[in-house]
Chain A
Amino acid sequence: MNAPTAFDQSELIDTRFTVPGMRCAGCIAKIERELPKIDGIAAARVNFSSKRVAISHQPALGETELGEALLGLGFEAQKIADNPLGSDDRERKQLMRALAVAGFGMMNIMLLSVSIWSGAEGSTRELFHWLSALIAMPVIAYSGRPFFSSAWMALKFRRTNMDVPISIGVILATALSLYETATGGEHAYFESAVMLLFFLLAGRALDAEMRTRTRAGIGALLGRMGKTASVIGPDGSTQRLPAGQLEPGMLVLVAAGEALAADGEIEDGTSALDNAMLTGESTPEPVGVGSIVHAGAINLGAPIRVRLTRVAGDTAIDEIARLMDEAGQSRSSYIRIADRASRAYAPVVHTLAALAFVGWMMAGAGWHQSLVIAIAVLIITCPCAMGLAVPTAQVVASGALLKRGLLVKDGSALERLAECNMALFDKTGTLTLGEPRADVSGLDAQARSVALGLAQNSRHPLSKGLVATLRAEGVEPAAIESVREASGQGLAGSWNGLDVALERPEATSTELATQLRIGPDVHALTFADPLRLDSQATLKELREVGIDASILSGDRNEAVEAVAAKLDLPATASASPQDKLATLEALKAAGRKPLMIGDGLNDGPALAAAHASIAPGTASDASQQAADAVFIGEKLMPVALAIRVARRTMQIVRQNFAFAIGYNVLAVPLALFGYVTPLIAAIAMSLSSLVVVANSLRLAGSAK
């Protein structure tokens, strides 16, 4: 943090690393305190949200040394490109600035307008109008830019979009207000124009924020791939090559603990691979000569030699990232309810306003009065209540769901969740916990503490499962001395002078198992990936609201069938990421609205392509990013809850819409016939907004 710097500041360069292993405040403190103690490093700054570290260091220190320094602290790190934040981020910040300016303008102009409405007259009113104009002009010019430029682009290509009527409304209201101000007229409508911009910008800024997060997920996905590989030359020498320079046909040596940088086929050696990031399956996959391996898998066992088949840009993981990107884009074109309504609504209002103008002109009211009435129609129908109808309901519902362990990431997600009429579940990690849990009923208290003492030294999935089971039962670990881990064999050590070990069982079986040896005694431990406790209840609740569930898994047939039989669900097994995506596309083409619930990286494209998607909190980062909602904890019930609350939310949204439309149906004719003064329009407008907000607040208790 504030390390004394004995460095010449001008010589320092910045290198950024992505450190996915950061989990807590302790990690931040450790990295920021320990790194500057290394010779040549001036400072380190952690960005926890994006899991990145920026290291300021002397140029003499290379990427490898810095990576090793981080590894020395216990964090795996990958260097990232210098400017990881592209134009998306600029666009988002621009929207935030426009929103802030519009907010400032809105508050100040409102202050002035309220005094005019409550009866300021003569020179005071004129002064206030001029002040409003002075504030409004720059504010509209600055904050309106996103709308004006988008409308201009559309008009240039002879098309129209939502921004065209917005721009026309804002410009027309501003121009007439300016004229009114200049001629000392009674009414100016700067506040309505600025308020309109403010509410619209708030929606856009939130939308941009969501999209930025999705992109970050795809970046995180590609960051997990091995970045370099040891290539074995024809003469047997090895050479370290970056992933981009690998070619199909090369022979690569993959050491234990290393991540693969490309897809290939094993030529020599047997080992176990952690494929969790590709498939979400926790069990290490045993591989031998002839096995196909994929980039991103981590070698847990012995070194293997791999003949490469598909390299950078062409690997299975690249494919998944591309599918996710495409699927995500096709979904962002989804037309939201609010958009649909206001798309139909805006032209109607403008036509009405135009008709009012023409009508009053023909009735001989003079062009000035006719224009005032036309603008009154525009103002009183300011889509405030309409604009609040959806977001307020969604915010309240999301807050209620969050308290029940379900994080909804996107406002429109609730809309889509409510529309779903069928559900597809991944098996491992979704219906099941996704972690092997040990059956420790055969162990006595002493054996349990020895097992925990041994297992906590290993990062093997079975050890981690054993540790989780034992810790959950409150077991204290025994002190084990000289613990050593042999890849593929197990853990061994000594306890009170006895040799103890956690090792591979002698009898081979299809079940996941290990055995605990304490001196002469041998205990067998079996592992299972248990179903989430409330799976049955959740599925029952889903059926009650008319949602048919089925299983769509990449796992083996037998494993899937066992779960399917238990839960009485139809199932499809051995589905590749492409199969899953194709299944969803087919369902969507058939008019169904599938909800996908999955956790693995192989579910990523399916999650992005589904009508709506939910991922458990244990899912890979990429899947969590692709999903609309994430549920935390070991219960599946938040899935059913999400559907119920989403439907209730849409009910409230429809009520809000009905009210907003009803209000307009009443107010517009009055305005059309010239009975509405700006004061009445303002009160009616704020009242209608308040009613909508109050109605939305009823959702707070909906997630009980």
Chain B
Amino acid sequence: MSTSTFLEDQQAAPPDTIAVQATDLRCSYGSYEAVHGIDLSIRNGEFFALLGTNGAGKTTTMETLEGHRAASSGALSVLGSDPFRDKAVLRPRMGIMLQEAGFADDLTVAETIRLWLKLSTGARAAKGNRTDTIRSSMDALELSDKADTRVRQLSGGQRRRLDLVLATVNEPEILFLDEPTTGLDPESRERTWAVVRAMHDAGTTVVLTTHYLEEAETLADQIAIMHQGNIAVAGSLPEVLAAQPASIRFVLDPNVQVEGLTASGVNVSFTPTPTETRASIATNNLQRDLARVLDWADSGSIRLERLTASEASLAEVFRQVSTGTVFTAAHQKEN
């Protein structure tokens, strides 16, 4: 009997092939349209993060990709099949961690995993391997001491980790994670990411939604930010950030003469307060403009208080999207 450890049976899909392809995908609840015609292209083996404010349509999009609901129009293919119609074919190849799904509260942790294994396809779920699988998956997420605890008595973080165990025990080719770390303490988050990262390294395609932008920044190959049912920004992290200007900020004494700085060609705006003048520069050439600011300050012996210079951050892009400042062609296409 083979004791398959966590990842060894993982079969990597051929690189550079498409795992998820959506064209003009629309999703409605009755007369309310939650997703207004989005395009998505996720490659096999990619780590894709779908970001957006609450109500942007992320969960609806995820549930449609997972086959929980049918799209109201548009074309959708996941691993080459229609996720809603071909659920029976696709589900064994998918791992799904819903934003909110429950357990039978009177079952223990080990019983819950065993039930799930009995319902799942895969080497780790095969009859002779179940006991090993239960042990190793509980170990990976530090649930071992809770094996015989009823699910009712678990903390929120422990429940979320059990969720992840169920989503991953069948060694899926594509893993959907809808806010997997919401409400987790930093240690649990780290453990969650260790498991997900290991699966991704072994070739699993990951589709993630999260409110933690730094998670998307460190983990994701591709990012899309949704706003009001549309994809506002999409691309790799550098691509998404490149569209945004970097910023320089500092504070001046209100008596400082600023004409010299304006004349140097820097696009600066000032916000005066009774005690100081706040300066802010948006620039697509951070190095050049920073040098100009420093030259100007040096030549006039001007002191720049609280000086910062930073590339655009995902948080900044996100803020602009959610206030409606940034939109791409995807938005204009609508109506």
A in complex with B: no
Give the B-binding residues of A (Cβ under 8 A).
none
Which residues of B pack against A, CB within 8 Å? none
